[in-house]
Structure 1
Amino acid sequence: MFLKHLHLINFKNIELAQLELCEGINCFIGSNGAGKTNMLDAIYYMSFCKSFFNPIDSQNIRHEHDFFVIQGTYNLNDEKEHVYCGLKKGVKKQFKRNKKEYDKLSNHIGLLPLVMISPQDERLIVEGSEQRRKYIDSVISQYDRAYLEHLINYNRVISQRNVYLKNLKALNKAAHDMLDVWDFQILELGKKISKARALFLDELKPVFLEMYNFISGEKEVVEFAYKSHLNDDDFEVALRESRERDMILGYSTKGVHKDDVDFRIGGYPIKKMGSQGQKKTFLIALKLGQFKFLAEHKNRKPLLLLDDIFDKLDTQRGDRLIELVGGDFFNQIFITDTQLNRIKPVLRKINKESRIFMVEDGEFKQQ
């Protein structure tokens, strides 16, 4: 699978761009704020029906305009696939595959698998558990349609339960009966979600370790562990016992919507003990492990997007990363950087077709 042609109108700071892309490595070079990361975000948008950076669609429209258009033509299993996304302020977003509009955007997720590595990934380490759950959910949803449906239904149940809790004055029999209905669904859907997350992380772990050890030169010991309320033997009891506290707080405190993943280096939380280079290596290994995982489960290689990838990596780790992504296992790659003289030596080390686009004020010119 690869993206052959990309056409943008009024997306972020890009007024108009039409790019013919190669099947190997496509590089976008320019200063900060030039628009190179916005180009990656447009590619991400066509896979996930949303921006990687800003979930509010209208804020992705170029200033002083009222619409944006993203169109891409892919080669998928030797067949042409055309994806169109159009958004106009005040009008429902249109998302089409081969000129046919989707009834549900969730039906598109997984068609065009993609892995993006960005400085924004640091949120997975430094921010709360919600970021790590979103990461897990975004990966599994690309290959398991049933999981995505379970997740949507689970979130709907939690939302309904929370609304009820906010208006609840006393835990009488009627209230317990109502909560029994929601808690049964939380338990049943939660079991399916927790099982899928555990299986994914178990399968991801050895690949992640392989990637980390290669990039770092086996200098550190890293690990991660899945934490879920559903791993507790008495979860059903704990869910019922939490009702009074939930009523006081006005939201549900137990369930897979509170799951987390514990990232560690040398036995300690990487959030506190990891250097900037170690954290970045951890995140890159996590995402490249995700790439290999998706490639095997989807039976097609995802697009790989590398945004400002060499920042905070020492020369040794950068060289090992180049050696890794330059191998035959990776197919189409998109790279952004601020320095042309840093990218050219990289491309010479990789035996792949490449194209360089210079970016300035939202304009793209092939070198």
Structure 2
Amino acid sequence: MYLRHLQVGHFRSWESADLALTPGPTVLVGRNGQGKTNLVEAVGYLATLGSHRVSADAPLVRHGASQAVVRAALRRDDRELLVEVEINPGRANRVRVNRAPLPRPRELLGLVRTVLFAPEDLALVRGDPAERRRFLDDLLVSRTPRLAGVRSDYDRVLKQRNALLKTAKLARGNALATLDVWDGHLTELGGQLLAARLQLVADLAPYVAESYAGVAGPGADRAALGYSSSVPLAGDGAPVDPARVLPGAEELAAALRERVAERRKDEVDRGVTLVGPHRDDLVLHLGPAPAKGYASHGESWSFALAVKLACFALLRADGDDPILVLDDVFAELDTGRRAALAEVARSAEQTLITAAVAEDVPAVLLGTRVQIADGQARILPGEPADESAATGEAGVDGG
């Protein structure tokens, strides 16, 4: 899989940009603030319908514009697809594939697969559980797109249930009877989401251990993953045991129902749902201790990098190379970590790299180079993608 062409209109700092791309590595070079990260952010939006930098769509639209457009020609096996997304803050986004509209934007998910490594990924190790839950669920949807509907429905039910809990303490019996109905929806969907997360953690864990050993080098502590849940059956945070038979969705839903019943009084008193996958955490272990709070700065970088390399290996093992996006990370890495990342990046079908200066990028990855400056993206002379001169002047239809 690779992108053959990328266009953006009124996206972030770009009024418009039109960039042809090729397989292999492409390095976008430019000073900070010139817009190189904005272009790879647009690629990531096609894969996740979200940004790795902000949680809402509004900041993605250029100041003064009402909408942003991201359009890409995608080569997948022997097919070429045209993918278009209109980002409309405050209104429904619109998605088209080969000019045909999709009924729901989330139907795009899984068509474009990316693995992005950026400085923000340190939050996987040092950040709050919400960061790791989002990481897990985005990877889940990339592997199994139908789970986007499960996640969306769970979030909707959770919102409705929380609204009811806020009034249940003062309400009469009818409100609590209604709460029982929402409990059924919450536990059914929660059981499906829990089962999928547990399987994903089990699948990802050996790749993380292998990647961390390669990045950190001989003598490093072993990296492992665990899952900590508000439902004891789903996990207590201990490292994954490969011999464990994982519980299924129905078994987890039953355990979730039991736990919800146990916490009902507490939930009514506090007006919030205290049990479910929205309260869980992915636990990163480094040797005998959790990485959060114990890992050094260098170990945290190694772990974050290992997790992303593991994601790439897992998606590749599923049968399709994702697009690898490396956003301004080589300047942050030492020689060993650079080499480990470069080895994977050079093997990917397509790698998009951003850097302030080309010298930050290992020489083996200096394929096509694109200069980003003054609202333009220009292929440097002598580079292989001779058809791909791109400028901020090229028109992108915002409609």
Give the corresponding residue for 2:302: 281
Equivalent residue number for residue 94 of structure 2:
94
Aligned counterpart, 1:310:
330
For residue 187 of structure 1, report the CA deviation from its aligned partner.
2.2
Q: Which residue matches 2:2?
A: 2
Counterpart amino acid of residue 355 in structure 2: D
Q: Which consecutive unaligned segments of at least 5 residues does structure 2 have?
A: 235-254, 381-399
**Identity of aligned pairs, percent?**
28
Question: Is structure 2 residue 348 aligned with structure 1 residue 347?
Answer: no
Residue 80 of structure 1 aligns to a residue whose secondary structure is: strand
Structure 1 residues 90-127: Cα deviation after superposition (integer angstroms, max 9, x where no partner):
65422111001111111110011111111111222222
TM-superposed CA distance for 1:264, in Å, is 2.1
Cα RMSD of the aligned pairs, angstroms, is 2.0
Q: Matched residue of 1:3: which SS? A: strand
How far apart are the structure 2 equivalents of 1:87 and 1:312?
Answer: 32
Trace 1:169-180 onto structure 2 (pairs within 5 A). Answer: 169-170=169-170, 173-180=173-180
User: Is 1:227 the equivalent of 2:245?
Assistant: no
Counterpart Cα distance in 2 of 1:251 and 1:288: 37
Deviation (angstroms), 1:130: 1.2
Length, aligned pairs only:
359
- Residues 131-153 of structure 1: CA distance to partner in whole angstroms, max 9, x if unpaired? 11111111111222342222222
Task: Kindly report which structure 2 residues correspond to 1:108-147, keeping only aligned pairs within 5 A, or say none.
Answer: 108-147=108-147
Shift, 1:341, TM fit = 2.0
Q: C-alpha offsets along residues 11-42 of structure 1, whole Å, 9 cap, x if unaligned? A: 11112211111100010111111111101001
Alignment deviations for residues 263-321 of structure 1 (CA, whole Å, 9 cap, x no partner): 12232222212122211211111112112222233x22111101112233221221222
Q: Distance in 2 between matches of 1:165 and 1:204?
A: 36
Distance in 1 separating the partners of 2:67 and 2:163: 34
**CA distance in 1: counterparts of 2:206 and 2:90, whole angstroms:** 47
**2 CA distance for matches of 1:228 and 1:280?**
26
The aligned residue for residue 386 of structure 2 is none
Distance in 2, Cα, partners of 1:91 & 1:254? 32
Rounded to whole Å, the distance in 2 between the matches of 1:312 and 1:270 is 19
C-alpha contact 2:208 2:307 (8 A) present in aligned 1: yes
Aligned-partner Cα distance in 2 for 1:182–1:67: 36
In structure 1, how many angstroms separate the alpha carbons of the residues matched to 2:78 and 2:279? 42
SS in 1 for 2:330: coil
Partners in 2 of 1:89 and 1:215 — Cα distance?
Answer: 40
- For residue 324 of structure 1, what is the aligned residue in structure 2? 344
1:63-102 → structure 2 map (5 Å cutoff): 63-87=63-87, 92-102=92-102
Going from structure 1 to structure 2, the CA distance change for 1:252 and 1:356 (only over 3 Å counts) comes to same
CA contact (8 A) 1:125 1:270 kept: yes
Q: 1:230 to 1:213 in 2, by over 3 A?
A: same
Question: Which structure 1 segments of 5+ residues have no match?
Answer: 349-353
- Structure 2 counterpart of 1:351: none
8 A contact 1:228–1:260 mirrored in 2 = yes
Q: Tell me if the contact between 1:277 and 1:314 (Cα under 8 Å) persists in the aligned partners.
A: no
> Residues 142-291 of structure 1 correspond to what in structure 2 (within 5 A)?
142-170=142-170, 173-218=173-218, 219-232=220-233, 235-291=256-312
8 A contact 2:231–2:276 mirrored in 1: yes
- State the match for 1:358 in structure 2: 371
Tell me the secondary structure at the aligned position of residue 22 of structure 1: coil
8 A contact 1:49–1:95 mirrored in 2: no
Of 105-114 and 91-100, deviating more is 91-100
**Does 2:42 match 1:24?**
no
